Chains A and B, each alone.
Chain A
Amino acid sequence: MKYLKYIIILLILSTINLSFADEHETQLQNEITKNLRCLICQGQSIYDSDSQFANSLKILVEKKLSEGLSEKEIYEYFENKYGEWILYDPKFNKNTYFLWLLPILMFLLGGVILFKLFIIKKN
């Protein structure tokens, strides 16, 4: 009877642990599919789309996660299959320097202008 109590506690704990793990995996799966572009849809992510293509991709993401691949490895896998266009987050390379650096440049220049206008004028 004493052991039975411990076994029941252990079983409960293990199911809680499992459900947490499941939830985490579903969250990760959703995050990954939100970052993948549905290549045959217009302006939709894999997560949003219900096309044949998107549904197959969702299944494959789930499979890859259960095989133990990390988020980064899954992105690399799909990039290798379909090219960089499938990723919503463009990588930092010679084609995207401008894209990534322009906002920072604008921010810095704006700061300089504001600084000149207000601080230097005040002084």
Chain B
Amino acid sequence: MKIKTFPLFLVIIFLIIFVIFYKGLNNSNIYTPETNLKKNIPYFKVKTFDSEKLIESDEIFKNDKFYLINIWASWCVPCRDEHPFLVDLNKKKGLEIVGLNYKDNKKNAKIFLDDLGNPYDIILMDQDGTISIEWGAYGVPETFLIYNKKIIKKVIGPLDSKKVFEINELVK
């Protein structure tokens, strides 16, 4: 009896491990962050790009209005690619675009905007990157669509025509 239970036990353990690994094979091993979170926007104090005046987030984001906060930097190459899409989105009524300038040199940022156009209604400065972390961002570029002080869509990486279409559908 003793001899029979031990191999049986081994087989069961082996089977359990096999099932776990087999199931694991089907799971994606690439970490994909959630993009539709419906989270409240964070509270923060930040300097504006133009006047370097300290303002609170509550002064920027009001209820019943769509806001698009775009994290960008002049040194970020994908930001150049997505910039024309932002310029287009700026023409849309009922949508305000807020730029969050990430760890950038102000002079270079100004040149960037002079070259490619300024789609932002207001630009904020995130010199040490901590405000982006408050937003739950991973890097640049990243864009959040906000309504009633809630994040309703998050785009990680540069905007493209498909993502802009999705934003337009939501803002309608």
Contacts and interface: CB of A to CB of B under 8 A. Distances in A.
Contact of B130 (A56, A82, A98): A56
Interface residues of B, number: 17
B103 A52 contact: yes
B138 A39 contact: yes
Interface in B85-144: 103, 128-130, 132-134, 136, 138-139
A85 B130 CA distance: 19
Interface in B130-169: 130, 132-134, 136, 138-139
Interface residues of A, number: 18
A39 B156 CA distance: 13
A51 B2 CA distance: 57
Contacts of A59: 128-130
Contacts, number: 39
A79 B94 CA distance: 33
A contact patch SS: helix
B33 interface: yes
11 contacts: A55-B129, A56-B132, A59-B128, A59-B130, A60-B134, A81-B133, A82-B33, A82-B136, A85-B31, A98-B20, A116-B2
Given A56-B128, A60-B133, A109-B9, 11 more contacts: A39-B138, A52-B139, A53-B129, A55-B129, A56-B132, A59-B130, A60-B134, A81-B133, A81-B134, A82-B136, A83-B33
